[in-house]
Structure 1
Amino acid sequence: MNEEQIPVETSNESMENITAEVPAPSETETTAEVEVMPENLEDSSPQSEKSPESTPVISPEEAIAELQQKIASQQQEIVQQSEELDSYKKRYITLAAEFDNYRKRTQREQKELEHQVKRKTITELLSVVDNFERARTQLKPSSDGEMEIHKSYQSVYKSFADSLKRLGVSPMRPEGQLFDPNYHEAMLREYTNDHPEGTILEELVRGYLLGDQVLRHSMVKVAAPQENVTPAEEEATESPENNESQN
């Protein structure tokens, strides 16, 4: 069964009538709706967005007093640290001076020990030098064979003397000098007016120096004035060589 569409005709007059039948909102209702919206927005805002509590206000006098207290505390701390620093400096200076004195004392003791060992060793060797010198003065080679032997031990003596020289040993040459007890030891006196009193006439046993120090005193014969000398004193002071020649 076919339904027929019935066209509905609306005229402008009918639309106007419908619009006129719908009542328009009053001004009071519109204002109420507008005023309600801000209240709803304020209620929906989170609690964290509320203004923070106001901090207590400090007066300028209290702030200045607090700063002055902090400054005084820091100044006292600076003074304490300065005193500690001065104490550490004094301790460092004392330790440095003690170490320097210890180092110098150790070096000095080491040098003295080396010098003593060197001195003792060389002193023991001087007797060998004395024997060579006695042999040179007393032995007179009379043949070619004896001359060869003489040259051999003289070369040994020269080598030995050169070694002592390299070690700083030097012989004394006191003949003609005035007697000095710091370097010489008087063994004999010869009464004579040919030389001033105290003049060294002969070296009996050679003396040696190690650097500027006496290694062994030189044993010498010195001149004495001849006046007021008894024959007994003159005979007692004669050298053994003169006594042997007179015999």
Structure 2
Amino acid sequence: MFVGDSLSRNQWQSLTCMLHFAVPDAEYDLTRQGDVSTFTFTDYGVKVMLDRNVYLVDIVREKVGRVLKLDSIEGGKLWKDMDMLIFNTWHWWNRRGPSQPWDYIQVGTQITKDMDRMLAFQTALTTWAGWVDLNIDPAKTRVFFQGISPSHYNGSLWNEPSAKSCVREKQPLLGSKYPGGLPPAVGVLKSALVKITKPVKLLDITLLSLLRKDGHPSIYGLTGPTGIDCSHWCLAGVPDTWNHILYNLIL
């Protein structure tokens, strides 16, 4: 099961396509119930699932409004007893305005209108880490965390100041260094992972994805020419590479 936002969906879609390509004549079934999508290879009894949970921690509707509870993770009930879990979160932590799906943030008994988003991200990861240590049996479940997936909206970060986005980018960056450096969220994630006592493997895809400024849907995504998508990734493409790395980590 993949658990996370639309970047998790990117990887889930990629994996289901790759598996179907390997066994093109196999019967399959695709269903969705609430936030959970399930691709089942009925001939093999194999399910590849996606739980759309963009913060990992809970959002609860209360009298004051929608509350993002950084120390609550009731949604984790869905994740128990899976053979494999691939978690991801970050894409939504800086959302503001109409696209922000909460009105308040709560930690313990304290409710605030907002807080430093990087601190909020760190607090949520600490809650998730505690859930893993409390609920995961390594003999039954393998746990991975998809690293921070970057976006490309500022050409100055890849030494092209005239580029305002990934539009018309046709080549990846050469070499193994990204001029703009790694997103700060990478450090927050790694510091959270080292505190977990249960085994969790990091799917460290950030740098290789940073180099692929050419790999986004750009103006050819779902919103068409009126929108620019430099956050998600084309299929097949970068998420296929993520899954090759996942496969090798599994082996």
- TM band (smaller chain): under 0.3
Between 1 and 2, higher relative CO (CA 8 Å, sep ≥ 6) is seen in 2
Higher strand content, 1 or 2 = 2
TM-score, normalised relative to structure 2? 0.21
TM-score, normalised relative to structure 1? 0.21
